[in-house]
C-alpha cells in the first residue's frame, strides 16, 4: 500500500519556482531559438517574403541545395567510448591566422535588405567570436565600414570579376589597404543562375512597392520602418541599380573570366588567395599546381547551376588528391555544428556559413547573428565531446560514414 498524505504548502511552493519574465522581446525570442532552424522560422515571420526568399531560395528547382542539406543528414558518426573529452578545444589555424571556431561567415550579397544592420552586424559578431568575416563584392556595407565594425578581427574579401575590370581591381586594392588578409576569388558566377523565387516575387534592387509587397508588409511594419529610416543602400561595386538580382548580376559579371584574370589578381593581392566555387577534382589539382593558397568546394549555395555536385560528397576525393598541398574548405548546406564536425573529420580545414548567419540576422540583427554563432558553437562542442575528441586535430575520417542515396550509374 502507498502511504498518502495531504501535501504541505511549503512542499508545493518549493516545486513552483517561476522564471522571472524577460521584458525584452528580441532577447526572449532569440533565447527560445535552439537551432538554426528555429532562427529560420523566426526570420520567416519577421521578414517580407521577397527578402526572405532571396536568402532562403536557390536556383531553378533548388535540387542542388536540397541535396547538399540531405548529404549532411545522411551521415553516421562513430564515437569512441571511455575517452574523456571534458575540455573541447574548437580553435584552429587557417590561412596564416587564428580562428576560435572551425567556421567563418561566408560572403553574402545585398545583406542589408535582409535586415538593416547587414554586414556590420555580421562583422561585429564575427570579431566578437574570434572568427573571420567575408565581405561580398555585392555587399551593402563598404570595405571601410566592415573594417570599422570589425577593427581587430580577421576580415576577408570575396571578389567577382566584373565586365569593367578596373572596378574589380579597385576593390581588391581597397580591401588590401584596409587590412583584409584573404581574398576569395569566385569562379562559379560567369552569369547569374535562375533564381525563380525572385522572379515570382518580383524581387528587385531596390525593392519596388506593389500591391503584393504592401499586403505582405502589413504584418511586418518593423522591417519597413527600419528600411525607410536608415541610410540608403550602398553597393561596393554597382553604381546603378534597378532590376532583379539576376539582371544586375548579368549586367555586371563577365562570362569570359579565365585563368588570365586569376594571374592578374594574384599579382596585385598581397595576402592569401583562395578560389571559391571549385566543383571537381581536376580543377582542384590544376589550381594547386598554380600555387593558390586554398580552395573552397562550393556550388554557391545551390544558387547557380542546379544539379551541381554536392560539395560534401566531393570533399573526401579532393582531400585525397590535394589535401596535403593546399587548404581545402567547404560551404553549402551547413545548418548544424555536426555538419561542421563531419566536414573537418573528412579533411576540410575550415567551413563557411551563409544562410545560417542570415537567418540569425533576420531574426534579431546583431544579437541574432551572435545567437547563430553560439548555437553552432554549442553543437560543435557537444558533437566533439560525444565522439570522444578534445580537439579538431583528433577528428579523422573514421569518425564519419557518408551514407549514400545517390549512386552514379557506370559511364559508357
Residues marked active site are found at: 300
Which helix (H) or strand (E) segment holds residue 237: the answer is none
What does the alpha-carbon distance between residue 242 and residue 249 come to, in Å, rounded to a whole number? 11
Terminal-to-terminal C-alpha distance of the chain: 77
**Helix then strand then coil, % of the chain, to nearest 5:** 45, 10, 40
- Partnered with residue 97 across adjacent β-strands are 94
Cβ-contact 158, 168 below 8 angstroms: no
Count of alpha carbons within 13 angstroms of residue 90, beta-carbon side: 25
Cβ-contact 357, 43 below 8 angstroms: no
Could you tell me the three cell numbers for 262? 586569376
Could you tell me the three cell numbers for 368? 541574432
What does the alpha-carbon distance between residue 80 and residue 83 come to, in Å, rounded to a whole number? 6
What does the alpha-carbon distance between residue 260 and residue 161 come to, in Å, rounded to a whole number? 11
**CA 269 to mean position of chain CA atoms:** 24
Cβ-contact 190, 255 below 8 angstroms: yes
Contacts of residue 309, defined as CB under 8 A and 6 or more positions apart, other chains included, come to 279, 280, 299
Amino acid at each position: 500500500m502507498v502511504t498518502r498524505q495531504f501535501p504541505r504548502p511549503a512542499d508545493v511552493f518549493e516545486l513552483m519556482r517561476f522564471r522571472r519574465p524577460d521584458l525584452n522581446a528580441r532577447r526572449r525570442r532569440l533565447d527560445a531559438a535552439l537551432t538554426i532552424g528555429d532562427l529560420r522560422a523566426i526570420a520567416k515571420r519577421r521578414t517580407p517574403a521577397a527578402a526572405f526568399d532571396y536568402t532562403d531560395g536557390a536556383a531553378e528547382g533548388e535540387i542542388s541545395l536540397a541535396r547538399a542539406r540531405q548529404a549532411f543528414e545522411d551521415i553516421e558518426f562513430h564515437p569512441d567510448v571511455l575517452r574523456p573529452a571534458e575540455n573541447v578545444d574548437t580553435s584552429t589555424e587557417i590561412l596564416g591566422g587564428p580562428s576560435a571556431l572551425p567556421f567563418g561567415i561566408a560572403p553574402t550579397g545585398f545583406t542589408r535588405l535582409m535586415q538593416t544592420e547587414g554586414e556590420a552586424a555580421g562583422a561585429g559578431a564575427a570579431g566578437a567570436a574570434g572568427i573571420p568575416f567575408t565581405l561580398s563584392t555585392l555587399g551593402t556595407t563598404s570595405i571601410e565600414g566592415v573594417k570599422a565594425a570589425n577593427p581587430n578581427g580577421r576580415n576577408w574579401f570575396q571578389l567577382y570579376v566584373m565586365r569593367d575590370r578596373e572596378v574589380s581591381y579597385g576593390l581588391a586594392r581597397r580591401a588590401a589597404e584596409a587590412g583584409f588578409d584573404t581574398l576569395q576569388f569566385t569562379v562559379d558566377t560567369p552569369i547569374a543562375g535562375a533564381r525563380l523565387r525572385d522572379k515570382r516575387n518580383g524581387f528587385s534592387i531596390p525593392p519596388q512597392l506593389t500591391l503584393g509587397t504592401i499586403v505582405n508588409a502589413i504584418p511586418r511594419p518593423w522591417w519597413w520602418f527600419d528600411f525607410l529610416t536608415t541610410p540608403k543602400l550602398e553597393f561596393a561595386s554597382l553604381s546603378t541599380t534597378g532590376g532583379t538580382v539576376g539582371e544586375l548580376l548579368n549586367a555586371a559579371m563577365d562570362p569570359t573570366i579565365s585563368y588570365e584574370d586569376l594571374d592578374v589578381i594574384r599579382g596585385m593581392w598581397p595576402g592569401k588567395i583562395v578560389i571559391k566555387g571549385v566543383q571537381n577534382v581536376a580543377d582542384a589539382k590544376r589550381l594547386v599546381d598554380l600555387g593558390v593558397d586554398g580552395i573552397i568546394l562550393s556550388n554557391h549555395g545551390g544558387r547557380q547551376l542546379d544539379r551541381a555536385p554536392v560539395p560534401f560528397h566531393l570533399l573526401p576525393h579532393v582531400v585525397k588528391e590535394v589535401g596535403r598541398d593546399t587548404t581545402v574548405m567547404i560551404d553549402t548546406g551547413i545548418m548544424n555544428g555536426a555538419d561542421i564536425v563531419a566536414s573537418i573529420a573528412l579533411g576540410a580545414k575550415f567551413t563557411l556559413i551563409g544562410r545560417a548567419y542570415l537567418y540569425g540576422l533576420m531574426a534579431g540583427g546583431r544579437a541574432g547573428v551572435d545567437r547563430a554563432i553560439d548555437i553552432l558553437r554549442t553543437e560543435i562542442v557537444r558533437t566533439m565531446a560525444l565522439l570522444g575528441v578534445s580537439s579538431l586535430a583528433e577528428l579523422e575520417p573514421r569518425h564519419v560514414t557518408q551514407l549514400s542515396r545517390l549512386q552514379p550509374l557506370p559511364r559508357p
